Amino acid sequence: MLNLLCAVYKSSKKVDTYLYVPGRDDFSRVPEPLMKMFGAPRFIMIMPIKKDRTLGQVDIQTLRDELTKNGFYLQLPPPEENLLKQHLAAQVPKD
């Protein structure tokens, strides 16, 4: 399995949203509606995608597969926790 390089960009419009592309400034395979939603990409870094590397919110194999198949990978933020809902659910007496 070859080691790939990818460029990582942060969205200027969406909080905690990142776009991974196979080369710096290579948005050729990213759909135009996605680029409009993403806003002006802010370059973060170039990084190798190694089999033994771990990333916080991205599975390396998924990243490799998406870059190969689609030419990009969009990382969205995790869903927000509804702490009030969790608190209220904990208050309900269990029979």
Mean pLDDT of 52-60: 76
Q: Is the pLDDT of residue 1 over 50?
A: no
Q: Is the pLDDT of residue 22 over 90?
A: yes
Pick from 65, 74, 54: nearest CA to 4: 65
pLDDT at 54: 67
pLDDT at 85: 75
Pick from 75, 65, 69, 68: nearest CA to 44: 75
Which residues, other chains included, contact 14 with Cβ-Cβ below 8 Å and sequence gap of 6+?
A: 37, 38, 39, 76, 77
Domains and CATH numbers, the chain: 5-91 (3.10.510.20)
Dihedral of CA atoms 49, 55, 57, 58 in degrees, nearest 10, equals 20
pLDDT at 94: 66
Average pLDDT for the chain:
87
